[in-house]
């Protein structure tokens, strides 16, 4: 039985507790370079006992990887120097940190090269970009692997591959955006092939004990009721190849951690990922936020205030070993010391989330 304050070990990484800072895009890195303010933003949470920080999504070195301006890059001399400073500050504060490696795929909004997508189809089913060729696929896989090797060289404690929310890897996983008839399309195992090849390349590019996390979701940006897998059997078909390729920890991204994923079981997505693969799992979704808020689309949760609520059910699920780690987002934006308060049982002292905290990297 695991408690919130119990250590957790995966590969060569040991965390002092089960609290994770969730990746949250902040668009606060002009020119793609994370500055000193980013380093202090992350270090502040590390100093207040966050067990593991997963950075905001950071673009891999692929021309069509980006969708938004002022998101940090994971390539280029200046950006990597910025990330190296982030790592030093987080480690100096006693924390552990991994970058989230990101290619936005069908979510691309910027001018420039067309979106990289499996089948020339966007999240709404309309034509978008162009179908990736085998060379495009190989180049993208190489870019992920190169980024992972760079993360280890810079001193990060692991990596997370972003395979959720309607971005590139998720575009291959989802039958709506993947209509391919080659080995990357068709049944769940074939749709998982691209992601599995990314993981396999990442795994080969880093040391054996360097942990590889993988984020997966049902929902997509702007399509919150989407389902990549309609059943546990379909989900198993998608995630088994990923686990076999070398994923160490699955990160099941849901908007509300307390909601069941499939009928007949109270398990959420992370619970199912753990059950189906035997791998550790991270849960996430409105941790510490009042339940009745944000029952509409996901972005409304960032544009309006929300009161603080307890985490008794979350802790009970953790103790039942439905999942192994707990990722916290907005609550940590409002309260850099949220982890310390939670570990001391003092969340009654936490401040409610207000969107004004998004204005700076505080």
Is 167 a catalytic site residue?
yes
How many angstroms from the chain centroid is the CA of residue 109? Answer: 20
CA distance 273 to 286: 19
Paired tokens of 183? 């080995």
CA distance 288 to 85: 30
Burial class (CB in 10 A: 0-12, 13-18, 19+), 274: buried
How many angstroms from the chain centroid is the CA of residue 199? Answer: 14
Of how many residues is the chain composed? 362
The DSSP secondary-structure symbol of 351 reads: P
Would you say 20 and 51 are in contact if contact means Cβ atoms under 8 Å apart? yes
CA dihedral 308, 289, 107, 205 (to 10 degrees): 90
Half-sphere exposure for 300 (CA within 13 Å, toward CB):
7
Catalytic residue among 42, 167, 257, 353: 167
CA distance 279 to 273: 8
Catalytic residues: 167
């Amino acid at each position: 039985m695991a408690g919130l304050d119990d250590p957790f070990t995966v590969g060569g990484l040991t965390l002092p507790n089960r609290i994770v800072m969730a990746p949250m895009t902040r668009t606060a890195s002009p020119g793609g370079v994370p500055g000193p303010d980013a380093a202090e933003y992350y270090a502040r949470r590390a100093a207040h006992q966050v067990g593991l920080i997963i950075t905001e999504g950071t673009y891999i070195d692929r021309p069509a990887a980006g969708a938004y301006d002022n998101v940090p890059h994971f390539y280029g001399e200046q950006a990597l120097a910025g990330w190296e400073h982030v790592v030093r500050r987080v480690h100096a504060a006693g924390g552990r940190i991994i970058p989230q490696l990101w290619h936005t795929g069908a979510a691309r909004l910027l001018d420039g090269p067309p979106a990289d997508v499996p089948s020339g189809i966007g999240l709404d089913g309309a034509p978008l970009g162009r179908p990736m060729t085998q060379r495009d696929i190989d180049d993208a896989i190489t870019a992920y692997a190169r980024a992972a090797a760079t993360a280890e060289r810079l001193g990060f404690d692991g990596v997370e591959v972003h395979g959720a929310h309607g971005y590139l890897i998720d575009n291959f996983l989802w039958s709506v955006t993947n209509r391919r008839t080659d080995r990357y399309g068709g049944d769940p195992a074939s749709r998982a092939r691209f992601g599995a090849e990314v993981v396999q390349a990442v795994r080969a590019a880093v040391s054996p004990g360097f942990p590889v996390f993988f984020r997966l979701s049902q929902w997509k940006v702007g399509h919150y009721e989407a389902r990549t897998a309609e059943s546990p059997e379909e989900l198993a078909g998608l995630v088994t190849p990923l686990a076999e390729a070398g994923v160490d920890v699955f990160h099941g991204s849901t908007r509300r951690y307390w909601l069941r994923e499939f009928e007949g079981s109270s398990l959420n997505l992370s619970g199912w990922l753990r059950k189906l693969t035997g791998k550790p799992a991270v849960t996430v979704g409105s941790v510490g936020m009042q339940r009745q808020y944000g029952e509409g689309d996901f972005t409304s949760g960032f544009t309006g205030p929300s009161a603080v609520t307890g985490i008794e059910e979350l802790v009970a699920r953790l103790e039942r070993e439905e999942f192994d780690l707990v990722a916290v987002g907005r609550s940590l934006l409002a309260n850099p010391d949220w982890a310390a308060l939670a570990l001391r049982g003092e969340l009654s002292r936490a401040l409610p989330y207000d969107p004004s905290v998004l204005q700076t990297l505080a």
